[in-house]
Each structure stands twice: as structure tokens, then as C-alpha cells.
Amino acid sequence: MITAEMERFYRTWLDKANSYTGRNLSDLYDKAFTLFALYNRLYAEATFRLARAGTVILQANRGFPDKAGATKHSLTFIGADHLNAVLSNDPLCRQAFDELVDLIENEVFYIKLSMPDASPQRDEDLELLNKLRSRGYKQKMEALLEVIYSVRCNMFHGSKGYEYTQTALLRPVIILLDKVIQILYQELCEYDV
């Protein structure tokens, strides 16, 4: 079950994201930022529900576990098998997933960056790539969520340039993130604790 406020938030932000056509660079950036904000709200809610159910432990007086919420807790809430099945059965998502794998494999984009200079961490990207190719759904889906989260961090923290070449990465990320958001929202609607 979800609150009326959460439903309004979801509808408002999803409508906002869908208002961007994706025909130009600013639309893609705006759509990605909007979807990331919506995803953040949903995975926080999922994390809190899992904590109330005793499935995850949140440390008192420590900040919200943002990365764990986005990558591990949201996956626990959705279920790796379920997420994999939905993404695999959607041709657009399958294509987007394959595009991400190709972009990482061919070093078109570096996903894991070292701060403060945003230098590529190829070993970490190769580790992600191996997990994306895994036959294990949990490892594969967690790696996908980690790629999405890393792109979000690179954008929010200024490590991703505002240039047209970024569209090759943003387009598949947006497709997959949009589907993950839909699935997570549906799970939140059906979850009863």
C-alpha cells in the first residue's frame, strides 16, 4: 500500500519525466535527473519498509544508506528474478541493457570514476561488466542498478560532461531506469506492511 501523497509524488514526477521528448541534450539530462529524483524517493521508501519488517538494519545516527538503497535494498524489495524477467521480456529494455554492456566493454564510457579528478577505474568497470554478463540474476541485476546509480552520481557530482556524446549512455540508462521505477512502484503498491 502507498499513501495518497506518495501516489501524487509518483504521478507528478513521472509526468514531468515524460514531458521531456529526448530530442535534444537538455531533454535527456532533464529526464534523467527527474527519473533519478523519483527513483530516489521510491528506493528510500522501499528501504524504510524493509527496515520496519526487519529485513535490513539501518544504523541509528548514520545517514541514509543511499547506495545500498539504490542497488541492494531496491533489488531485495523487487526481487532479482522478477526484475530480470520483466527486463528480459521487454525488447526495448533488452536492447538498452545490451547497449550498456557494449558501451562499457568498448570503453566508450567509464562508469566507475575516482574522485576528485574523475579518472577512470577500468578494473571496477570490468568487474561490473562481468557481473552484467553473469547468469546469476541477483548479481546481474545488482550490477545493472549499480551502473544506473553510478551514472546518477557522475551526473549529480559533476563528473559527467554536458555534451552530446553523453546521449549514447543516457538513452539506455533512461529506458532501464524508467522500467525499474515502474516495477518498484508496483511492488510498493502491493506490499502490505
SS (H, E, C) the chain: CCCHHHHHHHHHHHHHHHCCCCCCHHHHHHHHHHHHHHHHHHHHHHHHHHHHCCCCCCCCCCCCCHHHHHHHHHHHHHCHHHHHHHHHCCHHHHHHHHHHHHHHHCCCCCCCEECCCCEECHHHHHHHHHHHCCCCHHHHHHHHHHHHHHHHHHHHCCCCCCCHHHHHHHHHHHHHHHHHHHHHHHHHHHCCC
User: 41 or 22: whose pLDDT is higher?
Assistant: 41
Domain count, the chain: 1
Lowest mean pLDDT across 10-24, 29-43, 153-167: 153-167
Respond yes or no on whether the N-terminal peptide bond of residue 116 is cis (omega within 30° of 0): yes
Q: Please state the length of the chain.
A: 193
pLDDT over 60 at 46, yes or no: yes
pLDDT over 90 at 35, yes or no: yes
pLDDT at 155: 84
What residues make up the domain containing 131? 4-190
pLDDT at 113: 86
To which residue does cell 554478463 refer? Answer: 133
User: Residue 68 has which C-alpha cell?
Assistant: 545500498
Say if residues 145 and 39 touch (Cβ distance below 8 Å). no
| pTM of the complete model | 0.94
pLDDT at 61: 78
Output the CA torsion 125→128→134→138 (10° steps): 180
pLDDT at 193: 56
Split at pLDDT 50, 70, 90, the class of 160 is low
pLDDT over 90 at 120, yes or no: no
